[in-house]
Amino acid sequence: MESTLVLIKPSGVERALIGRIIARFESKGLIIAGLKMMQLDEKILREHYSHLVDKPFFPSLLNAMMASPVIALCLKGKDVVEVVRAMAGVTDASKALPGTIRGDFGMSNQENIIHASDSPENATTEIKRFFHDKEIFDYTPCIIKFLYSPDGK
């Protein structure tokens, strides 16, 4: 089964949205394989956002991502990278569709509530960046047979 990395950003933590965001992933039927609170620093953010370090908004993004602890989640499911990106909505929350996390909870490009991996390859790298191996749990929730057909579809 595929895995993805989600961060509930300071914009989600400070606005007391942690429970509501996690509840959406749980009710969708995604398996929580890892979950923790952590304070990010410049080193990990320069790696995580290496594609953006030369952008003029990068210093502001750094400050925003270090403004409070974040919640890191490793979620599992069929095509979970694509599913969670769809649940997140487009980057600019003011343009994200209603029904998406960014669309329902945000108004900003920068303060857009969550991060979600954008490809299975990046998800693998990002999960390793934020979690030690022993913090990822391989278990089968008892509801699994009501989430998927016997052949996993």
Identity of the residue, 30 or 114, whose beta carbon is nearer to Mg ion in the bound complex? 114
Binding mask 79-118 for ligand UDP (x = CB under 6 A): ------------x-----------------xx-x--x--x
Partner touching 57 among Mg ion, ligand UDP, none, CB below 5 to 8 Å by kind: ligand UDP
User: Per CB under 6 A, which region of 12-20, 49-57, 76-84, 131-139 contacts ligand UDP?
Assistant: 49-57
Q: Look-up: residue for tokens 């979690």?
A: 131
The residues in 114-133 that bind Mg ion, with binding defined as CB under 5 A, are: 118
Q: What is the gyration radius of the CA atoms in the chain, in angstroms?
A: 15
Residue 137 engages ligand UDP in binding (rule: CB under 6 A) = no
Nearer to ligand UDP, 68 or 110 (CB): 110
In the complex, least distance from residue 28 CB atom to ligand UDP, rounded to whole angstroms: 19
Calculate ∠ Cα 54-56-62, nearest 5°. 80
Tell me the C-alpha to C-alpha distance, in Å, between residue 121 and each of 5, 30, 95, 96, 125: 11, 19, 27, 25, 7
Tokens of 139: 């278990």
Is 115 considered catalytic here? Answer: yes
Q: Which two tokens stand for residue 115?
A: 């991060």
The answer to whether 115 and 121 have CB atoms below 8 angstroms apart is no
Q: Report the interface residues with Mg ion, using CB under 5 A.
A: 118
